[in-house]
Amino acid sequence: MPVLDPSLPLDTLPQMLLDVGAIERNIAIKEAWTRRHGMVLAPHIKTTMTGEIVRRQLPGCWGVTVATTAQAAKAVEWGATRILIVNEVLFRGHLEQLRSMLEGSPELEIYALADSAAGVAAAAEVFRKADRPLKVLIDVGITGGRTGIRAAEEAGPLAALVSEAGGLLLAGVSAYEGVAPNARTEENLAAVDSHCRLARDIFESLEFEVEQPVFTVGGSAFQDRAAMFLPQGAVNVLRSGCYVVHDHGTYAGVSPVPGLEAAAVVRALVVSAPEPGRVILNAGKRELAYDAGLPVIVAHYRGGELLSGGERSAAILTKLFDHHAIVDGADGFAVGDVVDLGISHPCSVFDRWREVIAVAADGAEVWKPAF
């Protein structure tokens, strides 16, 4: 990630900063990669839930992916007309919301997942007499994983329930190739391949009720493996999310897409230097993602001048509190210095901020994530 201007007129620190140029380059790179691999893109916008980013993604996408009905409603507000909800929608109020959205927007398409008879029954109860059907994908999971059927023999009976229910259309199959830890070991790649192969086999065993059935895979770590198991006759939809801002940790180490740049940092202040080689920053768990590794220092400033940047500092964050971080190995750091922190796993940082500063060549502006 290019070093962002240390003299930005920020009202407060800490603050999350976005490099708009890097975001736009990432979007272009990902769209091109997806086309080359025979897929279309429906980015998982839960990563950022930021209208200014999603609107930049929409022109080159088949649709968008969301996790919840609330996110689906925001996606419509931002201009999306094809939405993939990668969960089984069970709550009656949420299903009624989806029905209302479809009936109010003739151009809108909504897909949701099913992995249980109870889920199909809940959706059918709301959509049975609907003017516009809900498109349903069979969700394929793994033993010990999250949602989804666990075996091929479960698919046929579940698909039959969808087909027999009024107001639902059997429209495809969904898988999630991020079933293994984000490391490219032989064991993990074998697990990913096995899962994608199972999902493809299930797709090829079913009869669908739409002209163009969907086969969709998601994730930013193993999409190259998923591309090896695409069925014929499907709209093959890739629903990666993290690529748009990438990161300085998990995905920097595992993504198969060359050229992506980390586009987000959290800028923080050194507020204490209580011991030799140790400083304290004024950003912690409330401001920083830490579920996939602690942040790293990617730039160090003093008095508005860059002291180091472009590569990770030898100083290491070792512990986070609510609003503070301990940094060890911080020789040469002083109270009042400013640092930019690179994040691992961007999905867990946007929801910590009501406002972020988007930095472009012609200035900066405030964007507001809709979490």
Q: Where are the domains of the chain?
A: 21-245, 259-367
pLDDT at site 2: 54
**pLDDT tens per residue across span 115-148:** 999 999 999 999 999 999 999 999 999 988 889 9
Identify residue 238 by its one-letter amino acid code: L
Question: Between the CA of residue 204 and those of 137, 155, 174, 233, 345, what are the distances in Å?
Answer: 13, 11, 13, 9, 34
Q: Which two tokens stand for residue 353?
A: 């901020």
pLDDT of the residue at 310 = 67
CATH homologous superfamily for 21-245?
Alanine racemase (3.20.20.10)
Report which DSSP code applies to 140: B
Q: So what's the pLDDT on residue 308?
A: 86
Q: What is the 3-state secondary structure (H, E, C) of 68-131?
A: CHHHHHHHHHCCCCEEEECCCCCCHHHHHHHHHHHHHCCCCEEEEEECCHHHHHHHHHHHCCCC
Sequence-ordered list of residues with C-beta below 8 angstroms from that of 308, at least 6 positions apart, any chain: 299, 300
pLDDT of residue 354: 95
pLDDT (tens digit, 9 = 90+) per residue, 301-321? 999 899 988 666 789 999 999
What local confidence, expressed as pLDDT, does residue 52 receive?
Answer: 98
Low-confidence ranges of the chain (pLDDT < 50): 1
Give the architecture-level CATH label for domain 259-367: Beta Barrel (2.40)
What pLDDT is attached to residue 258? 96
pLDDT in tens, 354-367: 999 999 999 999 99
Give CA–CA dist 364/360, Å, rounded: 6
CB atoms within 10 A of CB 117: 12
- 41 sits in which H/E element: strand 40-41
Cα–Cα distance, 206 to 120 (Å, whole number): 17
Tell me, what's the pLDDT at 347? 87
The reported pLDDT for the residue numbered 6 is: 74
